[in-house]
């Protein structure tokens, strides 16, 4: 009997062609769109984009019909609320800058979808990522960018577990983006030509501060901007409005370029400093996940290429296990705006080796 695979479909080119390729390869393919976002009112339905909105459902259903595969919408609203939105709010309220895509991947797209897919009899789940899952000589699984991908498709997936990777297929990772587009047009897939979005899907207008205020129902209190010596140099609009490294929108006339260095939720202060203060050599991270390497024993060090945010091109570093759940990473060339809450992802030979949350 052929293996069953659930393909997470957004109606876009990549996941649609992923479903097609797997069908061609002889898999028993089931299309699924995950409903994650909460109640949509009549007016916002019109504009909703993202991978999982209502328009995604309509587009994906059309594709499934053309591919002649069964298609279902699965409801993950509760999981998304709990594991992504609550986490997002919590992190911001504690002065950190979260990456909700990482949480969504780990807990919703993989954990919850995989579990339900296995329950309905699937052997694998598949996605339209331009990435490859390598089965390393030591037996471990690790994600690697497909060579031709312009976008980094690995950073936000660093937190997947070995069990999740063992059950995951990424069929478009073997192709160039142009080839995938060509396949889509050859087989006349009615795919939506959506623009790639870097926005957080549940805060479409980028206004995180208002989102958090709406969600929590309370206004963030104003507080002080202070310099590195603790001197008050102005008033801020509430800590959720700021992120480390931010320059614009501070509203302080300092006569020089100034930046957010640190957010201190316990005193409700935002620390401001010069550009030189934004750079640092050391990055500490916890909530570790080991992917390509099995472990880094306490006290031991290893060299990697490290990324401290999505879009960071990566820099050489040495990571040392400094605690049960802590890595301390030294970058010989200092990195800009190390932001608590973002991920530190460590690469070895192009694979994701390990990662954690920046402290």
Partner 1 sequence: MIYLDNAATTKTAPEVVDAMIPYFGELYGNPSSIYEIAGKSKEAVDKGRSQIADVLGVSPEEIYFTAGGSESDNWAIIAAFESCKSRGNHIITTKIEHHAVLHTCEYLERERGAKVTYLDVDEKGMVDPKELERAITPETILISVMYANNEIGTIEPIQDIGKIAKEHEILFHTDAVQAFCQVSIDVAACNIDMLSSSGHKINGPKGIGFLYIRRGVKIHSLIHGGAQERKRRAGTENVPAIVGYGVAASRAWNSMESRTKKEVQLRDYMIDRILREIPYCRLNGDRVRRLPNNVNISFQFVEGESLLIMLDMEGIAASSGSACTSGSLDPSHVLLAIGLTHETAHGSLRMTLGEDTTKEDIDITVEKIKAIVKRLRSMSPLYEDFMKKQH
Which of 24, 47, 78, 294 binds partner 1 (CB under 8 A)? It is 78
229 is in an annotated binding site: no
**Residue 204, both tokens:** 């479409």
Q: In the complex, what is the shortest distance from the CB of residue 161 to partner 1, in angstroms, rounded to a whole number?
A: 15
**Closer of 75 and 214 to partner 1 (Cβ):** 75
Does 45 bind partner 1 (CB under 8 A)? Our answer is yes
Is 146 annotated among the ligand-binding residues?
no
> DSSP letter string over 15-63?
HHHHHHHHHHTT-EEEEEEEE-S----HHHHHH--TTTSHHHHHHHHHH
Q: Is 95 annotated as a binding residue?
A: no
Active site residue 201: yes
Show the binding pattern over residues 242-281: x = contacts partner 1 (CB under 8 A), - = does not: ----------------------------------------
Q: How many residues bind partner 1 (CB under 8 A)?
A: 19
Rounded CA separation 55/104 (Å): 19
Q: Which of 154, 172, 104, 173 is nearest to 291 (CA)?
A: 154
Q: Which residues fall within 8 angstroms of residue 344, CB to CB, at 6 or more apart? A: 283, 285, 306, 307, 308, 327, 329, 355, 356, 357, 358
- Give the span between the Cα atoms of 36 and 13, in whole angstroms: 20
* Nearer of residues 34 and 212 to partner 1, judged by Cβ: 34
Binding site annotation covers 49? Answer: no
Of the listed 51, 52, 101, 201, which one is catalytic?
Answer: 201
The CB-of-349 to partner 1 minimum distance in angstroms stands at 36
Asked if 72 is part of the footprint of partner 1 (rule: CB under 8 A), the reply reads yes
Residue from the set 15, 33, 153, 159 that interacts with partner 1 by CB under 8 A: 33
Is the CB of 74 or the CB of 233 nearer to partner 1? 74
Q: Are strands 28-35 and 71-75 parallel, antiparallel or unpaired?
A: parallel
Is 101 a residue of the active site? no
Is residue 276 exposed (0-12), middle (13-18) or buried (19+ Cβ within 10 Å)?
exposed
Alpha-carbon span 272 to 252, nearest angstrom: 10
Residues between 110 and 139 that touch partner 1 (CB under 8 A):
115-116, 118-121
Catalytic one of 51, 52, 101, 104 = 104
Shortest gap between Cβ of 165 and partner 1 (angstroms)?
20
Q: Is 11 labeled as ligand-binding?
A: yes
Quick one: which of 23, 40, 194, 350 contacts partner 1 (CB under 8 A)? 40
Cβ closest to partner 1, residue 99 vs residue 117: 117
Contact pick of 3, 23, 73, 94 for partner 1 (by CB under 8 A): 73
Q: How far is the CB of 284 from partner 1 (least distance, A)?
A: 33
CB of 58 to partner 1, least distance (A): 9
3-class secondary structure, 86: helix
For residues 356 and 323, is the Cβ–Cβ distance under 8 A? Answer: no
8: left (phi over 0), alpha (psi -120 to 50) or beta: beta
Dihedral-angle region of residue 352 (phi above 0 means left; psi in -120 to 50 means alpha; beta otherwise): beta
Closest by CA position to 305, among listed 251, 246, 349: 349
Which range in 67-75, 154-162, 194-202, 244-252 contacts partner 1 by CB under 8 A? 67-75
- Per CB under 8 A, the list member of 15, 35, 105, 159 interacting with partner 1 is 35
The reply to whether 66 sits near partner 1 by the rule CB under 8 A is: no
d(C-alpha 153, C-alpha 159), whole Å: 13
* Cα separation, 273 vs 260, whole angstroms: 7
- What distance lies between CA 253 and its chain's CA centroid? 35
Q: Which residues are annotated as a binding site?
A: 8-15, 34, 128
Active centre residues (catalytic): 104, 201
Which residues does the annotation place in the binding site for ATP? 8-15, 34, 128
In the complex, which residues of this chain contact partner 1 (CB under 8 A)?
33, 35, 40, 45, 54, 57, 70, 72-75, 77-78, 115-116, 118-121
């Amino acid at each position: 009997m052929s293996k069953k695979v659930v393909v997470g479909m957004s109606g876009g080119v990549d996941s649609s062609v992923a479903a097609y390729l797997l069908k061609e390869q002889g898999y028993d393919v089931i299309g699924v769109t995950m409903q994650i976002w909460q109640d949509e009112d009549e007016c916002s339905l019109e504009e909703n984009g993202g991978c999982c909105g209502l328009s995604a459902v309509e587009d994906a259903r059309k594709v499934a019909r053309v591919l002649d595969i069964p298609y279902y919408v699965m409801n993950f609203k509760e999981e998304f609320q709990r594991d992504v939105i609550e986490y997002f709010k919590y992190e911001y309220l504690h002065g950190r800058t979260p990456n909700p895509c990482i949480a969504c991947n780990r807990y919703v797209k993989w954990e919850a979808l995989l579990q339900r897919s296995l329950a309905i009899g699937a052997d694998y789940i598949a996605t339209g990522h331009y990435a490859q899952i390598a089965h390393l000589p030591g037996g471990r699984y690790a994600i690697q960018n497909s060579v031709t991908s312009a976008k980094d498709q690995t950073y936000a997936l660093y937190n997947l577990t070995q069990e999740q990777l063992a059950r995951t297929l990424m069929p478009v990772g073997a192709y160039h983006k142009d080839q995938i587009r060509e396949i889509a047009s050859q087989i006349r897939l009615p795919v939506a030509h959506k623009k790639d979005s870097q926005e957080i899907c549940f805060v479409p207008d980028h206004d995180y501060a208002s989102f958090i205020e709406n969600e929590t129902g309370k206004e963030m209190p104003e507080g002080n901007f202070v310099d590195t010596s603790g001197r008050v140099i102005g008033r801020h609009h509430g800590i959720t409005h700021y992120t480390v490294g931010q320059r614009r929108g501070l509203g302080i006339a300092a006569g020089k370029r100034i930046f957010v260095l640190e957010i201190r939720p316990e005193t409700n202060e935002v620390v401001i400093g010069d550009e030189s203060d934004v750079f640092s050599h050391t990055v500490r991270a916890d909530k570790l996940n080991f992917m390509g390497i099995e472990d880094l024993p306490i006290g031991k060090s290893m060299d990697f290429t490290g990324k401290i945010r999505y879009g960071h091109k990566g820099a050489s570093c040495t990571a040392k296990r400094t605690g049960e759940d802590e890595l301390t990473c030294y970058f010989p060339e200092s990195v800009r705006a190390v932001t608590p809450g973002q991920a530190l992802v460590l690469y070895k030979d192009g694979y994701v080796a390990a990662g954690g949350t920046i402290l």
